[in-house]
Amino acid sequence: MNRTIAIAAAALSLALAGSAVAKEVVSGAAKVVDADIIMVEKQRVILWAVDAPERTQECYIGELKWDCYGAARQALGELIASGEASCTLEEGKPDQFNRRHGVCTSAGKDIGAELVRLGVARAYVEQGEDYLTEEGEAKAAQIGVFQPGAKIDDPWAWRKRDPRNYR
């Protein structure tokens, strides 16, 4: 009887493993498109579970205007400075701008995690809680959008008030 259960369990494991769909991966030359979007080869990839300030978003440190979008875009550029990236794409079809969501790495680092850790992007919990630890680190360090005196709307709140459709 135990042998029958073991054989059935093994067969079930094989069936489940065979039904798992491997996620699509794009790798190669990478360049910055936006503060949280990169182009890898010919695929635009929006970083999964990450939300950086928008180009039109206004941010302040005290009374001084701060280019929060520019800071995020520059940090992204520095993270892919090697010129190469690899992105594991989320399931689903590209949006109207041929963009897909994905988790991307460059030079062995998770790009989204690093942007959030640097405080230039937020963990986008609407998609996942992947980067809440890194956001906690940025808050504790009081850097980027979490620095003292920062007056910065969450990017998702900014988009709701802005008439353009970003995502």
135-162 pLDDT, tens digit each: 999 999 999 999 999 999 999 999 888 8
- For residue 5, pLDDT over 50 is answered with no
Tell me how far apart the alpha carbons of residues 43 and 38 are, in angstroms, rounded to a whole number. Answer: 8
Per residue in 92-124, pLDDT tens?
888 888 999 999 999 999 999 999 999 999 999
Confidence of residue 3 (pLDDT cuts 50, 70, 90): very low
Per residue in 50-78, pLDDT tens?
999 999 999 999 999 999 999 999 999 99
Per residue in 10-45, pLDDT tens?
444 444 444 456 789 999 999 999 999 999 999 999
- For residue 126, pLDDT over 80 is answered with yes
**DSSP states of the chain:** -HHHHHHHHHHHHHHHHHHPPPPPEEEEEEEEEETTEEEETTEEEEETTEEPPPTT--EEETTEEE-HHHHHHHHHHHHTTTSEEEEEEPSS---TTSEEEEEEEETTEEHHHHHHHTTSSEE-TTT-STTHHHHHHHHHHT-GGGSTTEE---HHHHHHHSSS---
Say what the pLDDT of residue 166 is.
Answer: 56
What is the fold, at CATH topology level, of the domain defined by 22-161? OB fold (Dihydrolipoamide Acetyltransferase, E2P) (2.40.50)
Say what the pLDDT of residue 20 is.
Answer: 56
Say what the pLDDT of residue 163 is.
Answer: 67
Say what the pLDDT of residue 34 is.
Answer: 95
Alpha-carbon torsion, ordered 92, 96, 97, 102, to 10 deg: -20
